[in-house]
Amino acid sequence: AQYAAFGLLLARTDADVPKHKGLTMFIVPMDAEGVTVRPLRQISGEAHFNEVFFDDVRLPAGSEVGPVDGGWGVAMTTLMFERVAIGLGGEGFGWRADRFATALIEDEAGTQDPEVRHRFGAIAAEFLALRFLGYRTLTTLQQGRVPGPEAALAKVTTIRAAIAAGELICDVLGPEALADDRFGELVSDMPGLKSAGGTEEILRSMVGERVLGLPPEPRLDKGVPFSELRARERAEVAT
């Protein structure tokens, strides 16, 4: 957000319908009056996430993206694109995996350890699975179809495999691995990406419900107008 010229804002425009309806997506100039951006510095020193505050921000007519009160569909499209992009980035993370593999091979003591070999094989299998899942996703896109909720698995697997790779390389090479540009960023940046494109917990729930057919999480707010939910909250606070 600290570098972007424009942002997307999902705002409620109708409170008398259930919470996933009555939302509209807007384009917001990040230099508009009332927009405040506060970068959140991570352990790596970078700021890949930000707090963004909107105080009495006014937007001109025509700032909407998609239909008025139909912003949830727009939001899901952008999130799915992000999840697929990160998931297909499994091959992109492969450059780190290649360096990771080279370092392990160069460390002869590490490659002789059965536990290291086992962990290395499991991580390599995950990256290989991501490659073929990426092929399936690309085929879906080429056919003009939208990837389904199973695409979320690519994002979850990519980040978990990358984190496991960083942990293994540090276990084998020791603390000095963190001083190596090849691996320091891998260890410090990957955990934060668990939140990108939707948290891992949300994505796992989505895959469990929509792909595996597991019972959905209990939802007392399903089908209830948003304004009624707010009234319930105020009543609970009052009591």
Q: Is the CB of residue 179 less than 8 Å from the CB of residue 227?
A: no
Q: 143: burial class by Cβ within 10 Å (0-12, 13-18, 19+)?
A: exposed
Q: Which pair of structure tokens corresponds to residue 113? A: 């350890």
Pairing type for strands 6-12 and 23-29 reads antiparallel
> Is pLDDT of 37 > 70?
yes
**Which among 89-98, 166-175, 191-200, 208-217 has the top mean pLDDT?**
208-217
Q: What is the rounded CA–CA span in Å between residue 184 and residue 161? A: 16
pLDDT in tens, 2-11: 999 999 999 9
Pairing type for strands 64-65 and 49-54 reads unpaired
Confidence at residue 95, expressed as pLDDT on a 0 to 100 scale: 47
Total count of residues recorded for the chain: 239
pLDDT band at 105 (very low <50, low <70, confident <90, very high): low
Q: What is the rounded CA–CA span in Å between residue 79 and residue 197? A: 6
Residues annotated as part of the active site? 82
> Is pLDDT of 92 > 60?
no
pLDDT in tens, 160-201: 888 888 888 888 878 777 777 667 777 777 777 777 777 888
Work out the average pLDDT over 140-160. Answer: 81
